[in-house]
């Protein structure tokens, strides 16, 4: 296959470099995650990141762009997104203006009007092209990171839009021909798994499932993200959150909610979590009334050994 690091300069020198790089911008990666990012660069393949909400899927792309110092180009997906919003669009108004000017000049008895062909060539040139995120990522001359966020919100038909860009890193524009990437962008796609993505898309990507972090990693994240938090508090926060995640809730607390909770506790000047403070601040971790009730009850109940 053609798409190896030979096409461009490899972004990462080693697995270790990826982990340290992500760490340097405050994103704590585990082994699996960093090897997938490393491979994405080496194999020139997009990464499809899937997992529950708030586990740092979007953040991963931002952090990668951050430590590489690359521009981050973001395409937010939603139902009804189309070519004109994702790939490119002709600047219709400007084209119209161009034709008007032509006619005006003709009427004024100026230069002989150019033929239709040259006019067509003119108005379908790059000058009249409005680039949208996907095309922009392809045309960029410097290395960029492309983030296609919440790709599962696209309808299954629109998904096909991405395929050409993701597998061959090129965009075909009928009037202009095929635009090939000058550099291979590092692509991240995120999905909340609200629907099954098409086989064609999945086959082209490296798959990365981001789950809730282990206790140690979550504690480290809290320590890194929350200024002024003590070791003990971070440990307790991580433990309470882990216990909550074992309960049968509608929505389990995400990493971002853990961080918010830790921040709140620090602001309130609380040094150690007890049942009362936990109960009083549960609404930061859990967003459903019924979940809060279940959690408040459950946390106080040890199974009675």
Partner 1 sequence: MLDILVGFVAELRQLGLPVSVSEEVDAAEAMAQLPLEDRQAIKSALGATLVKSANHWRAFDTAFEVYFSIRGAQFLLDGEATPLGEQDGRAEPAPDGQHPEGFGGTETATAEEIAAMVIRALRDGDQLLLSAIARLAVARYAAMEPGRPVGGTYYLYRTLRHLDLEGALARLVAEARARASGELDDEHPGGAVLRGRRPGQLTALEERLLEDEYNTRIEQLKTEIEAEIRRRLVADRGAEALARSLRRPLPEDVDFMHATREELVAMRKAVQPLTRKLATRLARKRRHLRRGALDFRSTMRHSLSYGGVPVEPRFKHPNQAKPEIWVIADVSGSVASFARFTLHLVHAISSQFSRVRSFVFIDGIDEVTGIFERSETVAEAIQKVNLEADVVWADGHSDYGHALTVFYERFGDEIGQKASILLLGDARNNYHAAQAWVIRELRHRARRVFWLNPEPRAYWGSGDSIVEQYTQHCDAAYECRNLRQLEAFVEHLS
Instruction: Kindly tell me which of 49 and 87 has the beta carbon lying closer to partner 1.
Output: 49
Mark residues 47-66: x for contact with partner 1 by CB under 8 A, - for none: xx-xx---------------
Report if residue 42 touches partner 1, rule: CB under 8 A.
yes
Strands 170-173, 71-76: parallel, antiparallel or unpaired by DSSP? unpaired
- What SS3 state is found at 298? helix
Report if residue 78 touches partner 1, rule: CB under 8 A.
no
Mark residues 223-252: x for contact with partner 1 by CB under 8 A, - for none: ---------x--xx--xx-xx--x-x-x--
Mark residues 141-170: x for contact with partner 1 by CB under 8 A, - for none: --------------x---------------
Q: What distances in angstroms separate CA 79 from CA 156, 188, 239, one per listed residue?
A: 10, 19, 38
Instruction: Kindly tell me which of 52 and 256 has the beta carbon lying closer to partner 1.
Output: 52
Work out how close the CB of 74 gets to partner 1 at its nearest, in angstroms, rounded to a whole number. 23
Burial class (CB in 10 A: 0-12, 13-18, 19+), 33: buried
Number of residues that bind partner 1 (CB under 8 A): 56
Report if residue 305 touches partner 1, rule: CB under 8 A.
yes
Mark residues 117-146: x for contact with partner 1 by CB under 8 A, - for none: ------------------------------
Which tokens in the block code for residue 222?
A: 């809290």
Work out how close the CB of 190 gets to partner 1 at its nearest, in angstroms, rounded to a whole number. 14
Burial class (CB in 10 A: 0-12, 13-18, 19+), 185: buried
Q: Kindly calculate the radius of gyration of the chain based on its CA atoms and give it in whole angstroms.
A: 25
Which residues contact residue 168 at a Cβ distance below 8 angstroms, ignoring those fewer than 6 apart? none
Mark residues 165-204: x for contact with partner 1 by CB under 8 A, - for none: ----------------------------xxxx--x--xx-
Rounded distance, CA 277 to CA 268, Å?
10
Is the separation of the CB atoms in 51 and 12 below 8 Å? no
Sign of CA dihedral 188, 38, 164, 183: positive
Instruction: Kindly tell me which of 37 and 140 has the beta carbon lying closer to partner 1.
Output: 37
Rounded distance, CA 43 to CA 116, Å?
46
Report if residue 280 touches partner 1, rule: CB under 8 A.
no
Work out how close the CB of 136 gets to partner 1 at its nearest, in angstroms, rounded to a whole number. 27
Report if residue 31 touches partner 1, rule: CB under 8 A.
yes
Backbone angle region of 147, left / alpha / beta, with phi > 0 → left and psi within -120 to 50 → alpha: beta
Q: Which stretch binds partner 1 (CB under 8 A): 45-53, 62-70, 111-119, 175-183?
A: 45-53
State the greatest distance between any 2 C-alpha atoms of the chain, in Å, as a whole number: 99
Report if residue 39 touches partner 1, rule: CB under 8 A.
yes
Rounded distance, CA 26 to CA 227, Å?
12
Report if residue 301 touches partner 1, rule: CB under 8 A.
yes
Footprint of partner 1 (CB under 8 A): 1, 4, 15, 31-33, 35-36, 38-39, 42-43, 45, 47-48, 50-51, 155, 193-196, 199, 202-203, 205-209, 215, 232, 235-236, 239-240, 242-243, 246, 248, 250, 272-275, 278, 288-290, 298-303, 305
């Amino acid at each position: 296959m053609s798409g190896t690091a030979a096409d461009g300069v490899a972004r990462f020198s080693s697995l270790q470099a990826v982990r340290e790089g992500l760490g340097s911008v405050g994103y704590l990666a585990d082994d699996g995650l960093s090897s997938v990012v490393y491979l994405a660069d080496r194999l020139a393949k997009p990464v499809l990141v899937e997992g529950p909400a708030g586990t740092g899927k979007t953040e991963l792309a931002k952090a990668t762009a951050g430590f590489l110092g690359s521009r981050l180009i973001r395409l937010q997906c939603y139902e009804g997104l189309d070519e004109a919003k994702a790939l490119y669009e002709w600047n219709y108004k400007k084209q119209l203006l161009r034709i008007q000017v032509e006619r005006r000049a003709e009427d004024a008895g100026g230069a002989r009007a150019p033929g239709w062909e040259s006019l067509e060539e003119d108005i379908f040139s790059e000058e009249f092209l409005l680039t949208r995120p996907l095309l922009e990522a392809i045309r960029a001359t410097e290395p960029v990171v492309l983030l296609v966020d919440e790709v599962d919100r696209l309808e299954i038909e629109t998904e096909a839009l991405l395929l050409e860009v993701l597998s061959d890193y090129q965009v075909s524009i009928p009037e202009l021909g095929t635009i090939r990437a000058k550099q291979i962008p590092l692509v991240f796609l995120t999905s909340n798994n609200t629907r099954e993505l098409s086989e064609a898309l999945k086959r082209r990507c490296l798959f990365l499932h981001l789950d809730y972090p282990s206790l140690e990693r979550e504690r480290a994240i809290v320590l890194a993200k929350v200024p002024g938090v003590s070791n003990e508090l971070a440990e307790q926060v991580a433990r309470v959150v882990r216990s909550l995640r074992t309960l049968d809730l509608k929505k389990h607390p995400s990493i971002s909610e853990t961080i918010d909770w830790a921040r709140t506790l620090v602001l309130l000047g609380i040094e150690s979590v007890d049942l009362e403070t936990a109960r009083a601040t549960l609404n930061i971790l859990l967003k459903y009334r019924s979940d809060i009730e279940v959690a408040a009850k459950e946390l106080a109940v040890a199974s009675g050994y």
